[in-house]
């Protein structure tokens, strides 16, 4: 009886300690977020998409003067004038206005990401202008970042059920909603600032993606891991439940240190599902290697506790060796 009572009391102590630790971590995170929210960031949001749609073709020269980087010299004015009067372009601009009627929400989303970037990357000079445009639904280039400019193609964030996306695969459309803009911005920022790797092994490619996802999650703390990966709830649950199987599959088949490009397409690239060449393939989420890479980076950061700029400069093999990942 005493033994049972002791065990129960011990369990209460352990649970109490875990709760106190969780509360302590939560308090630290809350204080950190409050500090980040006070950071001053200069942000100039320009709606090129609206201005271009509302400018008469005979005033093209005015908008060219304001946005010269959108008008290559080799493209004749007649091309732009025709685009201004094109019915499909007018419809596209109208649909963008419906989803993004004002700048307030959009500016708040971007401003929050910029504040987090400034907090975690204090030595970095942020672009001062964010320009929105349309790209004829080029979902492969939703956001472009340069030293002085961020360009956001708003027509690639209209929502999964938008008629313009008819024919676009579901696994791609999940990333084409307006609440994905902060995540897409953070991921593009991480991509721009991570040390590139040439001819990576599968494990290097997975960890490389995991580094970007880890950084993006801190830059967008309101985004869940599921949202970052672009998974549905069912897909995320599959990845979480089968992490050990996936890892053992890679090891058993000697895939981790292979540089075979097909492995990247099977397990890291954006895809409707991962390709194990087994009967359950279509039940799996695509890019499972990204999920695994993120878990490895998380395990590494729990031990290393690096600043984010250093994490983006750390070689994947260093992370792999130190993480001791065991799903």
Burial 253-287 (b: 16+ CB within 10 A, else e): eebeeeeeeebbebbbbebebbbbeeeeeeebbbb
Q: How many CB atoms lie within 10 A of CB 108?
A: 10
Element housing 182 (H / E): helix 181-193
Helix axes 288-304, 316-323, angle to 10 degrees: 70
Quick: pLDDT tens for 265-318: 999 999 999 999 999 999 999 999 999 999 999 999 999 999 999 999 999 999
pLDDT at 3 (0 to 100): 46
Element housing 149 (H / E): strand 149-153
pLDDT at 28 (0 to 100): 65
Categorise residue 75: left if φ over 0, alpha if ψ from -120 to 50, beta otherwise. beta
- CA 99, 102, 105, 109 torsion: positive or negative? positive
User: If you average pLDDT over residues 62-76, what whole number do you get?
Assistant: 95
pLDDT at 73 (0 to 100): 93
Contacts 24+ apart (CB under 8 A), 40-44: 41/111, 41/114, 41/115, 41/118, 41/126, 42/126, 42/128, 43/107, 43/110, 43/111, 43/114, 43/128, 43/130, 44/128, 44/129, 44/130
**pLDDT confidence band for 4 (50 / 70 / 90):** very low
Query: Which residues fall within 8 angstroms of residue 234, CB to CB, at 6 or more apart?
Result: none
pLDDT at 1 (0 to 100): 42
């Amino acid at each position: 009886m005493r033994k049972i009572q002791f065990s129960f009391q011990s369990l209460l102590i352990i649970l109490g300690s875990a709760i106190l630790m969780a509360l302590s971590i939560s308090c630290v995170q809350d204080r950190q977020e409050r500090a980040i929210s006070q950071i001053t960031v200069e942000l100039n949001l320009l709606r090129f998409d609206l201005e271009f749609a509302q400018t008469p073709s005979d005033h093209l020269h005015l908008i060219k003067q304001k946005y010269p980087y959108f008008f290559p010299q080799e493209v004749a004015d007649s091309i732009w004038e025709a685009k201004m009067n094109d019915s499909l372009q007018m419809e596209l601009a109208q649909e963008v206005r419906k989803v993004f009627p004002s700048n307030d929400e959009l500016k708040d989303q971007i401003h929050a990401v910029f504040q987090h970037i400034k907090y975690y990357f204090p030595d970095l000079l942020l672009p001062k202008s964010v320009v929105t445009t349309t790209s004829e639904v080029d979902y492969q280039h939703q956001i472009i970042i340069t030293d002085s400019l961020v360009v956001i193609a708003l027509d690639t964030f209209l929502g999964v059920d938008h008629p313009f996306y008819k024919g676009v695969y579901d696994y791609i459309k999940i990333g084409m909603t307006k609440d994905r803009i902060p995540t897409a911005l953070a991921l593009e920022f991480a991509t721009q600032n991570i040390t590139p790797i040439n001819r990576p092994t599968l494990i290097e490619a997975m960890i490389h993606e995991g580094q970007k996802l880890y950084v993006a999650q801190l830059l967008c703390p309101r985004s869940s891991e599921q949202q970052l990966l672009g998974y549905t709830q069912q897909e995320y649950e599959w990845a979480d439940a089968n992490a050990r199987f996936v890892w053992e599959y890679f090891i058993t088949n000697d895939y981790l240190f292979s540089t075979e490009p097909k492995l990247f397409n099977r397990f890291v690239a954006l895809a409707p599902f991962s390709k194990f060449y087994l009967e359950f393939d279509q039940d799996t989420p695509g890019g499972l290697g990204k999920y695994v890479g993120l878990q490895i980076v998380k395990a590494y950061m729990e031990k290393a506790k690096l600043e984010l700029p250093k994490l983006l400069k750390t070689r994947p093999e260093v992370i792999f060796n130190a993480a001791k990942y065991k799903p």
